[in-house]
Amino acid sequence: MIILAGMIGSGKTTYTLKLSEELGTEPFFEPVDENPILDKYYEDPDRYGFALQIYFLNKRFALIKEAYANDNNVLDRSIYEDALFTKVNVEDGNITETEFAIYLDLLDNMMSELDSLQKSSPDLMVYLDGSFDHIMDNIKKRGRDFEQPTAENGLLDYYRHLYDSYGDWYANYDKGPKMSIYTDHFDIHKAEDWETVFAQIKKAIERR
C-alpha cells in the first residue's frame, strides 16, 4: 500500500491516478465532492471545524481499513495526516481544546484497531512538497469556488498556516518508509517527467 500526503492542492489526486494506472492497482480517494460539510466549513470554520474533522476521520478510517484488507493499492490521503488538519484548526481557534481532546481519544481508539490488523502500516508514504505559490496556483486552476482565498474569507492565512506545518509533520512521520517529491520540478502529464518521478518512487519501494 502506498499513501500520498501533502498540502491541499499539492497534486495528490493526479499522482494517485498516475500511480494506480502504472501499478495496475486500485486508487482510493478521500471524499470531497460528496462531502456535505466541506463547503460549509469554508464559509464558517468556527461552526463546522469539529464536524468536518470527525467526518474526515471516520471516512479515512473506513478507507484505510478497506485498503489494508486488499493487496496493492494507492490512497490519495490517509488517516495518518488527519491530526495535522485538526491541530491547525485548534491553533486557528476553529476547534476548542475540549473538542480536540475528544478527537484525539477517538483517533487513538482507531489507531489501536489498525495496529491489531495483520498489516498495519503503509509500505511507502509519498509526500508531495512544493512552493506555496505553486500550490496556490493549483487551487486556483481546479476551480472549486469554496476553496478560493479572498480578502474576506481568511483562507490565505489558513493555507499558509497549514503549509508551514507540513515540514514538521513529514519529519515526524514514523509509520514506515517515506519519500518526498518537490512538485514544482515536474509536470507529470509529460511522459518524461512522469518517468523520472515513477523511477524515484519505484526505487523507494524496492529499498523498503
**Which residue numbers belong to the known binding site for substrate?**
30, 42, 53, 77, 82, 147
Other Cβ atoms within 10 Å of 164 Cβ, number = 12
* Annotation: binding site for ATP: 6-14
Catalytic choice (39, 46, 76, 184) = 76
Secondary structure of 19-72 in HEC code, one letter for each residue: HHHHHCCEEECCCCCCCCCHHHHHHCHHHHHHHHHHHHHHHHHHHHHHHHCCCC
Give the containing element (helix H, strand E) for 126: strand 124-129
CA nearest neighbour of 127 among 197, 64, 63: 197
Please list, residue by residue across 109-143, b when 16 or more beta carbons sit within 10 angstroms of its beta carbon and e when fewer do: ebbeebeeeeeebbebbbbbbbeeebbbebbeeee
Give the containing element (helix H, strand E) for 135: helix 132-142
Could you give the CA distance from residue 203 to residue 187 in angstroms, rounded to a whole number?
20
Q: Catalytic site residue 193?
A: no
Active-site positions read: 76
